[in-house]
Structure 1
Amino acid sequence: MYIYINGEIIPREKAQISVFDHGFMYGAGLFETFRTYRGHPFLLDSHLGRLNKGLRQLNIDRSFCREETNQIIQRLLNENKLENAYIRFNVSAGIGGIGLQTSSYTEPNVIMYMKSLQTGESLGEKKAEWLRIRRNTPEGDERLKSHHYLNNLLAKREIGEDVQMEGLFLTKEGYVAEGITSNLFWIRNGILYTPSVETGILNGITRRFILALAAQSGLEVREGLYKQENLLEADEVFITNSIQEIVAIKSIGSESYKGVSGPIVQMLYTRYKDNCSYLWSIDELGGHR
């Protein structure tokens, strides 16, 4: 498999960066994960918008547009002979001295990883459990998709290697937050609920897209601070991220839900799949924040 690093496409085993990269030393780096469907990078503009905003916050002097990024994607797809791929687009601060830096980073390391990913034709389903470890608070005013992933790693170790199991975080105050690498939604009496970003969750691109789909479909949406007992009364529960798309949850601990038979999650999944081969931005659907 080939990857892109700082203008070059090279075999993955030959990729190298300096041990003085502040993305490695201090976590000063961001990444976006997304998929290509028949060569199209779904919601690329929305991912780049979040990435560019985060780069400004980290004082990394770099930004990306659709044309430049899609050229990298298409070169890499061609080299790897892929159409449907998992992509991680990574920007780390670059080389710095020993010690925290307050000035701008002007030569970041830009890396794109890629691997083959099959396109599913049916809605997936998982079980879930509440995690003992609590969701940590964001390092700044909002959660960035950054290299600070220890909270997620410890949570994954707690839940184990079963790919059919998702761990669900609570905040330290006991509010429902999100999955280990996913956002969380549920349906009760035809209303779509999801935790507010006020809880400190990542405002996922797929989360935002689902909220836009729901609004366009005429669903009432409520974002707020919710306790575990709010999920006990749910009819349907599902999680989202840009790689897994939408996954129905059939149980959380001893509580059971409709899983893949839920009509609203089925509708949202169908509409998601109808759009994933051509949309560049959430705004093209009508937008949501």
Structure 2
Amino acid sequence: MPDIKDFGDFLPGYGVFETLRVEEGTAFFVEEHWKSLQQSAKMLGLCPRQDFRKCVSRLPKKATGKWRWIVSRAEEKDFFDSRAKEPQEVFSLAVAETRVGSRNWDSRLKTLSYLVHYQARLSVEADEAVILNEHGEVVSGAMSNLFWVKDAKIYTPSVETGCRKGIIRGWVMSEMEVIETRMGPEILQEADEIFLTNSWIGIRPVVRFQNRILERGKIAMELSKKLKATYSLFKSASSLDGISSQIFNQGAEELSEGAR
């Protein structure tokens, strides 16, 4: 069996990334993303040489968009996309036939091998796809973490299903009591409310699951308002005497405690 180093720089998909939301020149949850990148890289035997947190000052002034960090064996780089389209306000959702392995890297981590997730999303006639694992358990959305509400209780797939520990997922779990569980997709048919999270879209309600119509949920709206308030605090701190969001995040544990 060849060693990884025997492949030289030709290692398709062998790398990890993080995507940060930037608003008006301020990046959000920088420290949390940095920790996530380090943990993912370690799983693949990589060690980031570049501290992307020190690149905050390179962000375009007052620009809004996606800031992506990439670490592979061959190179490390970051880039800013100011043309990223703002996410829609609500989403439709359908179950994809595509499955992921609960122990697989490409399920648990943000690896450069993303074809399974794209395949799932493109295979459904909906804005986002629900991905199941080899046991038929709900894992996540193709590009998002997934939450649902039943009888005023909030649920999300357990990390044991193979879901990613998304940054906004962690923030939600630090704000409200959330039950991690292992369930099949039928549970979503019984949900009173469903919502999606990731660092770009924030928190977005699902208004259609398969053929079922849902109302915009109160919990999703409440959490969305709280998250926007947190973003405002980040931006306010970044504007004070040149303080970057990176420094603010380091000293603002009350805003991100439990975020992963």
TM norm structure 1: 0.74
**Moved segments of 4+, more than 6 Å:** none
2:72 alignment partner in structure 1 = 92
Q: Identical aligned pairs, as a percentage?
A: 29
Deviation at 1:131, TM superposition (A): 0.6
- From 26, 35, 42, the equivalent of 1:56 is 42
Q: Which runs of 5+ in 1 are unaligned?
A: 1-18, 95-108, 215-219
- From 152, 155, 159, the equivalent of 2:117 is 152
1:98 alignment partner in structure 2 = none
1:213 alignment partner in structure 2 = 175
Which shows bigger deviation, 220-229 or 191-200? 220-229
**SS of 2:207's equivalent?**
strand
TM norm structure 2: 0.82
2:9 alignment partner in structure 1 = 21
Does the CA-based 8 Å contact 1:41-1:280 persist in structure 2?
no
Q: Are the structure 2 counterparts of residues 84 and 140 from structure 1 closer, same or farther at C-alpha, using a change threshold of 3 Å?
A: closer
Deviation at 1:117, TM superposition (A): 5.7
- From 150, 167, 172, the equivalent of 2:134 is 172
- From 51, 57, 76, the equivalent of 1:110 is 76
1:10 alignment partner in structure 2 = none
1:32 alignment partner in structure 2 = 18
User: What is the distance in 2 between the residues matched to 1:119 and 1:271?
Assistant: 23
Q: Which runs of 5+ in 2 are unaligned?
A: 1-6, 235-247
1:240 alignment partner in structure 2 = 197
Does the CA-based 8 Å contact 1:55-1:63 persist in structure 2?
no
Cα offsets for 1:44-82 (capped at 9, x unmatched): 100100111222222223355xxx52442321425xxx5
Question: What letter corresponds to residue 150 of structure 2 in structure 1?
Answer: R
Does the CA-based 8 Å contact 1:35-1:42 persist in structure 2?
yes
Q: Are the structure 2 counterparts of residues 235 and 117 from structure 1 closer, same or farther at C-alpha, using a change threshold of 3 Å?
A: farther
User: What is the distance in 2 between the residues matched to 1:117 and 1:205?
Assistant: 22
Which shows bigger deviation, 128-137 or 45-54? 128-137
Question: What letter corresponds to residue 188 of structure 2 in structure 1?
Answer: L
Deviation at 1:169, TM superposition (A): 1.0
2:31 alignment partner in structure 1 = 45
Q: Does 1:201 align with 2:170?
A: no
**SS of 2:224's equivalent?**
helix
Q: Does 1:77 align with 2:60?
A: yes
Q: Does 1:272 align with 2:252?
A: no
Deviation at 1:32, TM superposition (A): 0.2
Does the CA-based 8 Å contact 1:33-1:89 persist in structure 2?
yes
Question: What letter corresponds to residue 113 of structure 1 in structure 2?
Answer: F
Question: What letter corresponds to residue 14 of structure 2 in structure 1?
Answer: A
**SS of 1:35's equivalent?**
strand
User: What is the distance in 2 between the residues matched to 1:188 and 1:93?
Assistant: 44
User: What is the distance in 1 between the residues matched to 2:48 and 2:154?
Assistant: 37
Question: What letter corresponds to residue 9 of structure 2 in structure 1?
Answer: D
Question: What letter corresponds to residue 221 of structure 1 in structure 2?
Answer: V
- From 173, 177, 186, the equivalent of 2:148 is 186
Q: Are the structure 2 counterparts of residues 243 and 60 from structure 1 closer, same or farther at C-alpha, using a change threshold of 3 Å?
A: same
Does the CA-based 8 Å contact 2:102-2:160 persist in structure 1?
no
2:244 alignment partner in structure 1 = none
Q: Does 1:129 align with 2:91?
A: no
Cα offsets for 1:219-244 (capped at 9, x unmatched): x3211101222222211110011011
Instruction: Give the greater-gyration-radius structure (CA).
Output: 1
1:287 alignment partner in structure 2 = 257
Instruction: Let me know the Cα RMSD of the aligned residues.
Output: 2.7
1:105 alignment partner in structure 2 = none
User: What is the distance in 1 between the residues matched to 2:107 and 2:129?
Assistant: 22
Question: What letter corresponds to residue 93 of structure 2 in structure 1?
Answer: A
